[in-house]
Chain A
Amino acid sequence: MTTKLKVEHVSKIFGRNPKSILKKMNKDGGTKEQIEEETGHTVGVHDVSFEVEEGETFVIMGLSGSGKSTLIRCLNLLNVPTGGKIFIGDEEITAYNKSQLRKFRQDKIAMVFQHFGILTHRTVLNNVEYGLEIKGMPKSDREKVARTVIETVGLGGWEDKMPSQLSGGMQQRIGLARALATEPDILLMDEPFSALDPLIRREMQQELLDIQNKLKKTIIFITHDVNEAFKLGDRVAVMKAGKVVQIGTPEEILSNPADAYIKDFVQDIDRTKILQAKNVMFKPTAIGTIKGGIKLAIKEMKDNGISSLFILDSERKLQGIITIDDAIKANQEDKKLSDILRNDFETTDLEAYVQDLIPKATESKFPIAVVDENSKLLGIIVRVSVLSALV
């Protein structure tokens, strides 16, 4: 893992004399509210530092007015920071001159906007071409690239429509396609799904995860929605009044909130949307094998006090499940293990969200088996762990 983006003590203050206010703030301290009351300057961001790894989805979360939109605009210098430095790779972008900055924006970074920022006088295709046009790519080439990206975001067939003919969700796909078209290393997303209705929002989140799986961009994503932050973010930074108050993985923040503010923030979160199968499963310690036979299986169940047992082959591939009743009966009748194997249990993969396991857990009388793509058994989820995530 290499560090893609490094933000060092970045501040952004709006007003007549931001530099001197920043100096005073660094020396004497003072909260955002105090500074605003005393000097009439607006403190957007104060002394924020963080690093983002290559290929990481880094979410900045905070309520409105916490400075998150100001901060993300510092990263492509739409807002020029009042103080601090920003590095992309080894380059200090805060030291760029105008033409270096333009080149940087053309090649390295792209942004998706809350209200889409779509050019309503251009067709979908021409919107997606915009960044390439600015880069100076010839017409025929950029059309080819744009059409490919339009396919990627699922807008195929809409190329020649005007944006106003598309729904909000589809308009944001234009925004996403336009940003992806220039093949940037870094994607800035400023509350891209906030203006969409909840159903479309979920769909777009899923799509972003899929696209990210394929493209592995470095994404900085802004949101005020905890569920969204924890669903999408590899790591999450929580902002409050222009400052970053905690940075960590969703699990870290959820299980160890830094202060009361964050605790409040994560309180109403739906854990089932954050926790995945891998977070609630047990390591499969009690298992039977085809080779081991019925007697060993019965002993395993008795020792562990369980009424059913997953049966694996020699390569740890899941073959089926047996119940204690069947096993005892079969043992008396001298049947083989393979005769009583059942397949009426549920399986899932490591990444599945607990939310989606709830119906499986309530319907099946057996534990849920967590398997990989080769049907190797990775873990077992019992009903109680799924349901306890609900509370």
Chain B
Amino acid sequence: MNNFPNITLEIGIYAEMLIDWLMDNFEIGFDAISFILLQILLGIESFLLWLPWWVIVGIVFALGWRLINLKTGIFFGAMIFLVGTFGGEGLYWGLMMSTLALILVAVLVSLTIGIPLGIWMAYNQRIQSIVTPILDGMQTMPSFVYLIPAMVFFGLGLVPAVFATIIYAVPPVIRLTNLAIREVSQEMIEAGQSFGSTPWQILRKIQLPQALPTIMTGVNQTTMMALAMVVIASMVGARGLGMEVLTALGRLDTARGFEAGISIVILAVIIDRLSQAATNRFKAKE
């Protein structure tokens, strides 16, 4: 036994109290958020599933071709087709679309929160000094931990999965937006001011366009982190490729685990390369 003095400080209980308090007072708010998120999620998912498979393969091919090169386009198209063949009867195709919908919603919400917050941080020193440690905490906290409040607020299913994914994925886009706006050359901003621009015009015509390449890097990172969260988020009942991994794990089914794992990898590689190529487009313009 060690000789540490026998003191018990229960900090966790305050976190629990905070969550309980939030639940008691803002339940309607959470229900509303839950409802809206679910509707968007289901809408996107059913749209993706409604699209004929070859349209999606075609889009992936076209993006790969236009953004990178023809060979990559063909390769990406083939890879996404390959995922569809797993499991039989288009099982994995459907799972992939569910996962994609989850990622899309998580990324969209992350950007709608993250970009304005990043801009606000860049403008306001106090906001930056409050938000930065929170972001540090969010990124070092084991991602499983986010599942607990997510479940408390939103129960089981897709919505807590999206919620946890957003918390996990939003820091990079906030950080990089903040950084990008701050790094816009002072002289460019002075130039804007010297012609009588309003602060809004300076943001829209100078700071945001200048910051765009760096913000795009943040979008890319946020997307990749959302993808990484997919497996973990499936623990609270989000269907998709992550759930397959989890099921395979439970049954020690190596074959199924491999198919699900490789599908996630393929999805990750394609999304990463495409969004990076898009980012480089912005950079090359300068």
- Residues of A participating in the B interface, judged by any CB pair closer than 8 Å: 73, 76, 78, 101-107, 109-111, 113-122, 130-131, 133-135, 162, 164, 178, 182, 188
20 A–B contacts, CB within 8 A, in A order: A73-B190, A76-B194, A78-B193, A102-B196, A104-B196, A105-B194, A110-B195, A111-B194, A113-B187, A115-B185, A118-B188, A118-B191, A119-B188, A120-B210, A121-B210, A121-B285, A133-B205, A134-B201, A162-B286, A182-B195
Q: Which residue of A lies closest to B189 (CB)?
A: A117
Q: Which residue of B lies closest to A104 (CB)?
A: B196
A76 proximity list for chain B (CB < 8 A): 194
The 8 closest A-B pairs by CB, nearest first: A105-B196, A117-B191, A106-B196, A117-B187, A102-B196, A111-B194, A131-B195, A121-B209
Q: Counting chain B CB atoms within 10 Å of each CB, which of A109, A117, A178 scores highest?
A: A117
Inter-chain CA distance A73–B193, complex, in Å, is: 11
B198 within 8 A of A: yes
A102 proximity list for chain B (CB < 8 A): 196-198
Residues of B contacting A: mostly? helix
Contact B196 A134 (CB under 8 A): yes
A73 proximity list for chain B (CB < 8 A): 190
Q: Which residue of A lies closest to B211 (CB)?
A: A121
Q: Which residue of B lies closest to A127 (CB)?
A: B191
Inter-chain CA distance A121–B206, complex, in Å, is: 8
Contact B286 A103 (CB under 8 A): no
Q: Which residue of A lies closest to B213 (CB)?
A: A121
Contact B187 A115 (CB under 8 A): yes
Inter-chain CA distance A320–B249, complex, in Å, is: 108
Could you say which of B185, B195, B210, B286 contacts A105, with CB atoms under 8 Å apart? Answer: B195
- Residues of B participating in the A interface, judged by any CB pair closer than 8 Å: 185, 187-188, 190-198, 201, 205-206, 209-210, 212, 285-286
Contact A134 B195 (CB under 8 A): yes
Contact B196 A119 (CB under 8 A): no
B244 smallest CB distance to A (angstroms):
44
B200 smallest CB distance to A (angstroms):
11
Could you say which of B191, B205, B285 contacts A162, with CB atoms under 8 Å apart? Answer: B285
Q: Which residue of A lies closest to B210 (CB)?
A: A121
A311 smallest CB distance to B (angstroms):
57
Inter-chain CA distance A382–B49, complex, in Å, is: 94
Residues of A contacting B: mostly? mixed
Inter-chain CA distance A76–B192, complex, in Å, is: 12
Inter-chain CA distance A211–B209, complex, in Å, is: 32
B185 proximity list for chain A (CB < 8 A): 115, 117
Q: Which residue of B lies closest to A103 (CB)?
A: B196
A134 proximity list for chain B (CB < 8 A): 195-197, 201
Inter-chain CA distance A115–B188, complex, in Å, is: 9
Q: Which residue of B lies closest to A122 (CB)?
A: B209
Inter-chain CA distance A116–B188, complex, in Å, is: 8
B196 proximity list for chain A (CB < 8 A): 101-107, 131, 134-135
Inter-chain CA distance A99–B285, complex, in Å, is: 34
A178 proximity list for chain B (CB < 8 A): 191
Identify 7 new A-B residue pairs, CB closer than 8 A, beyond the known A113-B191, A118-B188.
Answer: A109-B194, A110-B195, A113-B190, A115-B185, A116-B187, A118-B191, A121-B286
Inter-chain CA distance A115–B210, complex, in Å, is: 16
Q: Which residue of B lies closest to A181 (CB)?
A: B195
A117 proximity list for chain B (CB < 8 A): 185, 187-188, 190-191
A181 smallest CB distance to B (angstroms):
10
B193 proximity list for chain A (CB < 8 A): 78, 105
A135 proximity list for chain B (CB < 8 A): 196
A139 smallest CB distance to B (angstroms):
14
Inter-chain CA distance A163–B285, complex, in Å, is: 11
A226 smallest CB distance to B (angstroms):
25
Contact A110 B187 (CB under 8 A): no
Contact B190 A114 (CB under 8 A): no
Contact B286 A164 (CB under 8 A): yes
B188 proximity list for chain A (CB < 8 A): 117-119
B84 smallest CB distance to A (angstroms):
40
B173 smallest CB distance to A (angstroms):
20
Inter-chain CA distance A122–B197, complex, in Å, is: 16
Contact A78 B194 (CB under 8 A): yes
B52 smallest CB distance to A (angstroms):
38
A114 proximity list for chain B (CB < 8 A): 187
B131 smallest CB distance to A (angstroms):
25
Inter-chain CA distance A102–B205, complex, in Å, is: 16
B187 proximity list for chain A (CB < 8 A): 113-117
B277 smallest CB distance to A (angstroms):
19
Inter-chain CA distance A121–B192, complex, in Å, is: 14
Q: Which residue of A lies closest to B201 (CB)?
A: A134
Q: Which residue of B lies closest to A120 (CB)?
A: B286
